[in-house]
Structure 1
Amino acid sequence: MAAVILDRDRLRADIAAALGEAPEDVGDDDDLMDLGLDSIRLMSLVEQWRAETGSEIGFVDLAEEPTVAAWSRLFNGA
């Protein structure tokens, strides 16, 4: 199985799907909680990404700075 890459576009697409929005409506620096990402949806994303990637990044890590840009840095080390 090929490695799943959680690049910025993939993160944005998954977040947008969880919010029921178009990916282009989710900006890099938008506060995702302000856009409607609640704790239940965030936990769902965390579990999905952990299952797909084996990542140890968790709810608290993502909740500290809920933006696409910050999450991309966490998952990709950039």
Structure 2
Amino acid sequence: MGVRLHRHFEVPRDRREEMLGALPDHVRPTQEAVDCFGIDLTQTPRIPARYRVSERFHDRPTFDNHVFHGAAPDMSRGAAG
């Protein structure tokens, strides 16, 4: 069945360009992880500062390893400044 993670984060207008430039470095390791089935990142149409993230992992230990190594919080830290 796997584990699905759905979350969103908001990026202040003055940080968007920086955050968007950093996204490839965040997304790449997740995409390359053997037990990660995918990551989708979309900007919400009605709230331009909000981005939705969906990730799919093989199982709970794979997801826990992803979080433990700091991959999940990195994007939020970059967004917050």
> The TM-score by the shorter chain falls in which range?
0.3 to 0.5
Please state which structure has a larger fraction of its residues in strand: 2
Normalised to the residue count of structure 1, the TM-score between the two structures is 0.34
